[in-house]
Structure 1
Amino acid sequence: MRMGIDRNPISSMHSCMDWRSITFDWNRARAFLVTAEEGSLSAAARALNMTQPTLGRQVSALEEELGVTLFERVGRGLVLTESGLHLVEHVRAMGEAAGRVSLAAGGQSQEVAGHVAITASELYSAWLLPPVIARLRAEAPGLVVDVVASNAVRDLKRREADIAIRNTRPEQAELVARRVAEDSGTLYAAPGYLDRLGPLTGLGDLARAEFIGFDETDRYIAMLNQLGAPVTEANFPLICDSHLVQWDMARRGLGIAAGPHGLGDADPTLRRVLPEEPDFHYPVWLVAHRELRTSRRVRLVFDLLAEMLPGLLRGGA
């Protein structure tokens, strides 16, 4: 499979071949479509239940037949060239039409199958995604769900994930986003730790508390200072970039951690440090690549997340 980029992909696609001379091979087109949707040959081969070399030969044969390059390699994945972007919508429409014909002939519902990758923070992945995945397993057992639990922002343009749960709106035009909820949180600690710390009557008393910080503690301190808590680096004897580990440290009485209300209020091992303050508010966005959003399986997962997340964030089952 060639990995270059055509300078003028649309014109070259038309000029390099006589469309009337092409014998259409749906197997090659399907191999191209699934590879485009999955983002790699290995994932597409699993989705189509064929070997990767066989799939690669089919995609390469389509490229040779059309006289264009359809993919370029980015890291371990594949990204559509301009020619590929132009062609994929036509092939997808053909696939949907073929599916409708099959449904009409067989009288059976279309199975939703294949691979979908969801990325979210560690805390959201552990807290919010299991009930969503349980419902997906019941409604679409043919799906393979890959949960990318990471506090880093994954690049959807590079197909590091299909859907992202984020607290900021993306700026890239290639991405589509839906604001599905607003989350809120506060400071939590174990009752035993709060008993040792003594009465806390306001934000000023946090000057004698110990916090479990992130790897970007300066921003955390600045935020707390802005709210009125006079804390410094001396208040952060523990630093950890894993929110799950932070949460467990707080449960064990090692200090104060920040977390969402829906999770913290339901945890019997934790208590709000100051019941009335401080409150943090942040939006929850669902994000997907514009092309992947048109994939039926991605759309199913996207819409189910949009339906379930608001209730889950409030602490619902």
Structure 2
Amino acid sequence: MNWDKLRIFHAVADAGSLTHAGDKLNLSQSAVSRQVRALEESLGATLFHRHARGLILTEQGELLFDATTAMSKRLDAAAARIRDSEDEVFGVLRVTTTFGFGTLWLAPRLPKLYEQYPDLNIDLMLEERVLDLPMREADVAIRMKEPSQADLVRKRLMTVRMMLYATKTYLDSHGGAPQTLEDISKHRLICQTPAAPQVGVGASMVSHLMTYEPSSLLTVNNYFGVLQGVLNDLGIGVLPDYVTEDFPDLVPILSDIETANVPVYLAYPEELRHSKRVAAFRDFVQDEIIAHRKQLKHLGKL
């Protein structure tokens, strides 16, 4: 099968238009059309339904597009390894993690990484969905459980717990901090929406707290929103404990009521084991976690 024709087919399928694909490939529309027709003839199959508003893949076209997409990702991975210099860290590194961890822990620390490696570009993808690392949907993942996908290098980074927090302003205006779980009935609870993807221990903690019938409820579909509600004196929030270093004014509530430890893992494909970009990011995260633990120990929170 002709590689050049496959490359042109992939561009057309991705763009949904001969013209747009031609612009991307620096080819005329007629040249692109000839290559696609030649590929269809060699395969003995129609790859596109042609409409006035564009092109739609046929069933056979979808099968081929899946294959060319996988090929493209593998080629990107190979190119990334080739570009990795023995002495320099540069290029794009695609990092995926949860919305809460990415916004509340990782993103605030990235300036230090850019100071170390000014030629490194981070593409940060915040999703609760677990991206497929072997298929190169991302280069590195940080997740709240051990990845189950095969052919991954895994490293356990830290553990987090879910705890209750509020501001002093909120507590002062609502008769002080609750002393028992029964006192939750006098307060507004801020937590993740039950239907939102989240760690199981967090959902279990919220379910337990709801049995004490808080006076009011604010639910948000991610921890960043929960934090904003707490910081704006709206109530008592269920939050991961890693936010405490960056928001020292948060007051822990009922500190003996906490969840089990949730493991945090860093993972990347086996084929990127020797990537300088991956190694730089991995070492940076580990160093930040060590500094985080020292800070918590200094504050007496560890």
TM-score (norm 1): 0.60
After TM superposition, list the pairs within 5 Å mapping 1:10-25 onto structure 2. Answer: none
Find the counterpart in structure 1 of residue 170 from structure 2. Answer: 193
TM-fit CA distance, 1:249:
0.9
Aligned pair partner of 1:210 in 188, 202, 208: 188
Question: Is 1:295 aligned to 2:289, yes or no?
Answer: no
- Matched with 1:72 is 67
Q: Cα distance, 1:279 vs. partner?
A: 4.7
Aligned equivalent of 1:252 = 232
Distance 1:261 1:196 in 2: 24
The alpha-carbon deviation at position 79 of structure 1 amounts to 3.0
d(CA) in 2 for partners of 1:268 and 1:302? Answer: 26
Distance 1:297 1:141, change over 3 A: same
Whether the aligned pair in 2 keeps the contact of 1:194 and 1:273 (CA below 8 Å) is no
Deviations 1:219-268 (A, max 9, x none): 65643455x77335x66632211321211111112122122334236525
Kept in 1, the 8 Å contact 2:181–2:212? The answer is no
| 1:271 partnered with 2:251 | yes
Alignment partner, residue 51 of structure 2: none
Deviation of 1:144 (Å)? 1.0
Distance in 2, matches of 1:132 and 1:269, equals: 19
Are the aligned partners of 1:122 and 1:243 in contact in 2 as well (CA < 8 Å)?
A: yes
Residue in structure 2 matching 1:166, options 143, 164, 174: 143
1:78 is aligned with what amino acid? S
Maintained 8 Å contact 1:265/1:271: no
1:169 and 1:221 map into 2 onto residues whose CA distance is: 18
| Pick aligned residue for 1:182 from 149, 159, 162 | 159
Asked if the contact 2:134/2:269 (under 8 Å) is kept, the reply is yes
Inter-partner Cα distance in structure 1 for 2:216 and 2:249: 21
Contact preservation (8 Å) 1:122, 1:244: yes
SS of structure 1 residue aligned to 2:184: helix
Equivalent residue, structure 2, for 1:283: 263
Structure 2 CA distance, aligned partners of 1:184 and 1:74?
39
- 1:1-317 correspondence to structure 2 within 5 Å: 1=3, 53=25, 72-74=67-69, 78-80=72-74, 95=82, 110-130=87-107, 132-199=109-176, 200-216=178-194, 220=202, 222-224=204-206, 230-231=211-212, 237-264=217-244, 266-312=246-292, 315=295
1:268–1:111: structure 2 CA closer, same or farther, 3 Å change rule?
closer
8 Å contact kept, 2:245–2:292: no
Structure 2 residue runs of 5 or longer lacking an equivalent are: 7-13, 15-22, 27-63
| SS of equivalent residue, structure 1 residue 301 | helix
Scaled by the length of structure 2, the TM-score of the pair is 0.63
2-structure distance, mates of 1:283, 1:152:
17
Quote the Cα distance in structure 2 between the aligned partners of 1:120 and 1:221: 19
CA contact (8 A) 2:159 2:262 kept: yes
- What SS does the aligned partner of 2:124 have? strand
Taking the aligned partners of 1:137 and 1:176, their CA distance within structure 2 comes to 24
Structure 1 unaligned blocks of 5 or more: 5-40, 42-50, 55-68, 100-108
Identity of aligned residues (%): 24
Deviations 1:187-207 (A, max 9, x none): 111223223433522223223
Distance 1:310 1:230 in 2: 37
Q: Which has the higher contact order (CA 8 A, sep 6+)?
A: 2
Partner AA of 1:72 in structure 2: A
Q: Give aligned pairs, total.
A: 237
Cα drift, residue 217 of structure 1: 5.6
Residues 225, 193 of structure 1: alpha-carbon distance in 2 compared, 3 angstrom cutoff = same
Q: Please report the RMSD computed on the Cα atoms of aligned residues, expressed in angstroms.
A: 4.0
CA contact (8 A) 1:180 1:310 kept: no
Distance 2:281 2:252 in 1: 33
Query: Quick one: structure 1 residues 300 and 201, their matched pair in 2 at CA, closer, same or farther if it must change by over 3 Å?
Result: same
